Amino acid sequence: MRILFSSTPVHGHLLPQLPLARAFRERGDTVAFLTAGALIPLLAREGFDVLPAGPAADELLAEAAHRTGTDPTGTPTPEVAAEIFAGVRVDLTADEALAVARDWRPELIVAELVDFVGPLTAAALDVPVATLAYGPAMPPEFGAAMDAVVAGRYADRGLTPRPADHYLDTCPPAMQQDGWQPPSGRLPLRPEPHGQGGQRPSEPAAAPAGPDQRRSDQRPPRVLVTFGTVFSSPDVLSPILRELSQADVELRVTLGLTASAEDFDVDHDRVTFVGFTPLSELLRDTDLVVTHGGAGTTLGALAAGIPMVIAPQGADQFIQADRVAAAGAGLDLPQGTATPEGVAKAASAVLADQGFRAAARTVADQIAAMPSPAEVAATLAAGQVRVA
């Protein structure tokens, strides 16, 4: 089969698609990605071809800010989110995407949840489309706003939207919205931390019995701080890192795509910085993740059974934070409470309370029981829909 993955040109939207893309490739299928050319280097390292179409994320966000008069990276509203994903991106990408996809001749298009270019292309080419959701269900008001905006883009091209044939759901039961009803064609899909390569994450490091007790190896707790590739501003993180580094912990921090360790005003003897690294490697022997709550980071940490402290910054991170707290697998710091002192206090509380780790392990067990990417690829290739 010829499988075309379509993605908004942001790492957090693209990386959750890689496990399924690898699974198709390992079956012998032909796989390519439809996204902005700016992501060619990342996908080339993974061995995937790219059909470049449309501008990179910074240009999309700038145009969205111009049209809406707001900061599109802040707390989202349905109207602003709809303009970004179903308005601006479709306007600046869809026609180019359709041209390159028509030449490539896909037999199935897999589009991430807020990618509206892939479904429009599927409608134009009359091929099946699968939606890959990378976290808890989107609030219905957001979906309705996006559908309303993109409807005009279909009409402009004389196209009729076609429903997704499959809904690939990476969200374990403990993280799903209360009262959520699964859509037709739902296929559970096990999420994996980026770079894991199809294997279950290793067991997290053994936790101490209490806040004042050491592990058998006498090392302090290992804390990973990651705010993704968009929200990891040194101005935001430096005060948090200074506060966290006062505790008796091993502190590792991931850099964004443009920052360097020298940009952070911290005691560099107490903080270890690492560049862009597969999450599966960063999670090894980690006891706590302090994060903004991106879907890939959140599900990756939970797949490894690691509790979290989440200080959401924008986008869908508020949803992830709420669901992690509801599952008992971490603490959610809503706006106004994510001060450096608040983050450090929450980190100490999660490290000290074994209930958070136990809840994270419960979610990890649910994730491990979900069908693997290889199983889902085989189901999709066979044209079979296994409704959960």
Per residue in 233-261, pLDDT tens?
A: 777 778 888 888 888 888 888 876 656 77
314, HSE (Cβ side, Cα atoms, 13 Å): 16
Mean pLDDT within 111-135 = 94
pLDDT confidence of residue 27: 94
pLDDT value, residue 105: 96
Q: Is 275 exposed, middle or buried (0-12, 13-18, 19+ CB in 10 A)?
A: exposed
CATH 2.170.190.11 is held by the domain 222-367: no
pLDDT of residue 334 exceeding 80, the answer is no
Q: What is the mean pLDDT of the chain?
A: 85
Percent of the chain with pLDDT over 90: 48
CATH 3.40.50.2000 range(s) for the chain read 2-191+370-381, 222-367
The pLDDT of 26-44, averaged and rounded, is 94
pLDDT above 90: residue 361: yes
Q: What is the pTM assigned to this prediction?
A: 0.83
Residue 115 has pLDDT above 70, yes or no: yes
Pairing of strands 49-52, 30-35: parallel
Q: What was the pLDDT predicted at 266?
A: 77
> Judging by beta carbons within 10 Å of its beta carbon (0-12, 13-18, 19+), is residue 241 exposed, middle or buried?
buried
Mean pLDDT (whole number) for 287-311: 88
Distance between CA atoms of residues 240 and 53, nearest Å: 38
User: Is residue 295 scored above 50 in pLDDT?
Assistant: yes
| The CATH number of domain 2-191+370-381 is 3.20.20.70 | no
| Rounded Cα–Cα distance for residues 213 and 132 (Å) | 43
Q: Cα–Cα distance between 328 and 362 in angstroms, integer?
A: 10
> What is the Cα–Cα distance from 29 to 158, expressed in whole angstroms?
31
pLDDT at position 275: 75
Residue 34 pLDDT > 80: yes
Query: 269: pLDDT confidence band, cut at 50, 70 and 90?
Result: confident
Stronger pLDDT, 249 or 154, i.e. the higher one: 154
**Residue 44: pLDDT over 60:** yes
